Copies of this chain bind each other. A is one copy, B any other.
Amino acid sequence: MSRSLTIALAPGDGIGPEIMAATMDLFKAAGVHNQADFVTVEMGGAEFAKGNSRGMSDACIRTVESCGILFKGPMETPKGGGGKSINVTARKLWNAYANYRVFKTLPGVETVYSKAGINIDMAIVRENIEDTYGGVEHRLSSDMVQCKRLISAPGSDQVHRFAYQTARKLGLKKIHCGHKANIMKMSDGLFLDRFKAVGKDFQEIEQADVIVDALCMNLVLKPQQYKMVVLPNLQGDIVSDLVAGLVGGLGFAPSANIGNHISIFEAVHGTAPDIAGRGIANPTSLVLSGLMMLRHLCLFKEAATIENALLATLESGIHTGDFGYTSGTNGAKVTPPVGTKEFTKAIIDNLGNTPKTVTPIPDAQAGDHCFIRPPAPTGQQVIRTFKNLQTQVVGCDIYLDTALSPISLAEEMNRVCQDTPFKLTIISNRGTQVWPTGSVYTECVDYYRVRFELRDGIAPGTFGQSRCVALMDKIAESFTVCSYELLRLFDGVKGYSMAQGQ
């Protein structure tokens, strides 16, 4: 193969440059640089310091988009100032929709689970774009802040398809969808429905689902029962770090963010500013992330050679200071921790060797596949799942910034809708119905939802949204309308939930 591959390289902040240099030394020694060019890009702390609120230069963006692959070290987003996380910006900007993390018990990395003889070998696939990570937040009243949790059908389809495809390549018999659809019935309900729908194209893989709180308990009690779990963004964030803990922490697990056009491979641990520049950081997570990247780029043999050398090094008991273990594998003597360079040199010295206590990695594996990049889009694409649905307006939810009591509010609202096609059906506060019935023990805040639905005898779709906007206009004469939602039927099915206690 000629050097046709070009990889954008962002060493990162804090310990980033040290562990990236170590990884590059290792990759060079294993011949990776004969296959690929690495181009350093400007991204992270230095860019923020220049006042670039995105944390990356325009040249960086062009290079990453041209390469299609970004290999990055840990980066710090400056606190305060409302700046968004650079890691999240990168994932969203380039639609790297699937966060794919693999967790395996490593020799020489001692944990509560390894000591109990429990072997961890699982993957977590996390939706990377949606959920509350859109960061769409509003203060709606003096006392109430809202964050929009968004789950789309095509966004869910993308991550589910990636999970099934990966499971198929790995020969897995079963995958789980983790969710909280018992509470978030519509949003996580959609995520779960799409998991089932996309799975129809993967008949050989058994589908299972698990509620996220039960999943977290089960992962602690008996992690062996899961091979791959796909989850919405926040839940996947939490679960993947939990599972990282099972194998010893973020320093021992890799991460990939896969998109159709651009994929990002990165260490997800912090920048560890306290030890930056001291030459003692552990490069294992970044090396493992690099191996996911090499395999993504078809460099299977190089990846296997490096992974075997790493495993052989770990099982020999050579370790950096963060391993913190008390006894060597198989009774090996515990040696003092070594620095980043010594650790890396040990791996380089082991190139060509294979581990003895765990199964060596073969040059070619069941999961092998080459990523083929599609042609670049000419403009932003709109991805769709459901089209041509018949929608009918049936009312609206209007949200008010007011500290009135529910009864007084109901009187006002009943008056204002008198000569409209709508009747007041419920008032809720923080999701709990407070009118027409409610408990005096329900405490309210200064933010109400008032629901108007078509009067009896008026068929859905008789009126369009203009009547709803007119109603809102009327209400806005005497109340602060902080928020509004149109209530519709989609192919005859209600597109809105009931209130708690309704």
Distance (Å) between the CB of A437 and the closest chain B CB? 10
Do A383 and B500 form a contact, CB below 8 Å, given A146-B150, A219-B245? no
CB contacts (< 8 Å) of A466 on chain B: these are: 473, 476-477
Known contacts A137-B184, A139-B488, A249-B217: A152-B496 contact under CB 8 Å: no
A314 CB to nearest B CB, Å: 18
Interface residues of A in 86-131 (CB under 8 A from B): 88-89, 92-95, 97, 111-113, 115-116, 118, 129-130
Q: How far is the CA of A377 from the CA of B151 in the complex (A)?
A: 39
| A65-B439, A476-B466 known; A249+B221 contact, CB < 8 A | yes
| Interface pair B249/A444, CB less than 8 Å apart | no
Most buried by B among A116, A142, A154, A381: A142
B-side contacts of A260, CB under 8 Å: 443
Taking a contact as CB atoms under 8 Å apart, the answer to whether B440 and A379 are in contact is yes
Cβ–Cβ < 8 Å partners of A148 in chain B: 146, 148-149, 431
Which single member of B82, B220, B431 contacts A185 (CB below 8 Å)? B82
**Please, how many angstroms separate the alpha-carbon atoms of A153 and B447 in the complex?**
12
Residues of chain B within 8 A (CB-CB) of A189 are 145
State in angstroms the CA–CA spacing of A281 and B137 once bound together: 45
Within 8 A of B (CB), among A50-68: 53-54, 61, 65
Q: Which of B154, B262, B385, B431 contacts A134 (CB 8 A)?
A: B431
- In the bound complex, CA of A148 to CA of B144 (Å): 12
CB pair B442–A94 under 8 Å, yes or no, is: yes
- B259, B443, B473: the one contacting A383 at CB < 8 Å is B443
Which of A187, A246, A391 lies at the interface centre, i.e. has the most chain B CB atoms within 10 A of its CB? A187
Give Cα A77 to B212, complex, Å: 17
A142→B491 CA distance, assembly (Å): 10
CB-CB < 8 A to A132: which residues of B? 149, 180, 183-184, 187
Within 8 A of B (CB), among A376-426: 376-387, 389, 391, 397, 403-407
Measured between beta carbons, the chain B residues less than 8 angstroms from A184 are: 132, 135, 137, 147
Q: Which residues on A are within 8 Å of B, measured CB to CB? A: 53-54, 61, 65, 77, 82, 84-85, 88-89, 92-95, 97, 111-113, 115-116, 118, 129-130, 132-140, 142-155, 180, 182-187, 189-190, 212-214, 216-221, 234-235, 237-242, 244-246, 248-250, 259-262, 376-387, 389, 391, 397, 403-407, 428-432, 434, 438-447, 449, 465-466, 469-470, 472-473, 476-477, 480-488, 490, 495-502
